[in-house]
Structure 1
Amino acid sequence: MRALFPGSFDPVTQGHQDVLRRAALLFDEVVVCVMVNANKTGRFPVAERLDRLRAASTGLSNVTVDAHTGGLLVDYCREAGIGVVVRGVRGAADLDYEWPMARMNNQLAGVETVFIAADPDLAHVSSTLVTTMSQLGRAPE
């Protein structure tokens, strides 16, 4: 079974790496995909995000890295023959955000969503927090 792990990955965090590693244990193949929203300006160029995802997936032989720049997530799933989306959730707020999208993806294309709970030691980490700390010259301890 093929699964899609989509996100902006702007930047890739330890939490993303953890969810990717765990998804790779559950599925035959995982496509980790930078989803590009034309209405948003990313902090890092897509090419850099892809390079970081390739580095994060080193040693995971069933993981491939891709980018999708146009259309809906379900469009990508249809084109790639993927029926499952993997989403990491850190808490109730993430689940509240993800739930309606999961239902819509299922309604539009029969795509199921599997939620992977964040490692409690990483649940506080977000791309925004990592970027802010980096800009201040501080690394998370």
Structure 2
Amino acid sequence: MTTEERLYKLEGIVEGVMATLPGRMTALENRMTSLENRMDLLRQELKEEVRALEDKLTQHMASLRQEFKGELSALRQEFKGDLSALRQELEGNLSALRQEFKGDLSALRQELKGDLNTAFNRMMLYLTALAAILALLTFLR
């Protein structure tokens, strides 16, 4: 094959490629447009799913917040009840201790009165004895 034949053959190939190239370019552009449209649709779907998940998360957080508030309120009530019961118990114990102290104090007062009366009676006895001795000494002089 000569150079001219080769060149002629190559020109035929180039003309064939040039003839099919615009169709292929159009098909490629159509595919690109189709892919861009699919990407836009996928972006939209993704945005919608993200929004739905955000809404679901917001609702779940609100639900958890309400549940937490309820539990916190229940714990506060329980704490108030326990504190009130403890306060009542302490007041009862304090009242019992006061009564016990008053009883002990009263017993000590009675014991002290008895000891003072005994001491006073002895002193009166000693003074009476002393007066009797002085009276005898006065008569004996």
**TM-score, normalization by structure 2:** 0.13
**TM-score, normalization by structure 1:** 0.13
Q: Does 1 or 2 have the higher relative contact order (CA < 8 Å, sep 6+)?
A: 1
User: Whose strand proportion is higher, 1 or 2?
Assistant: 1
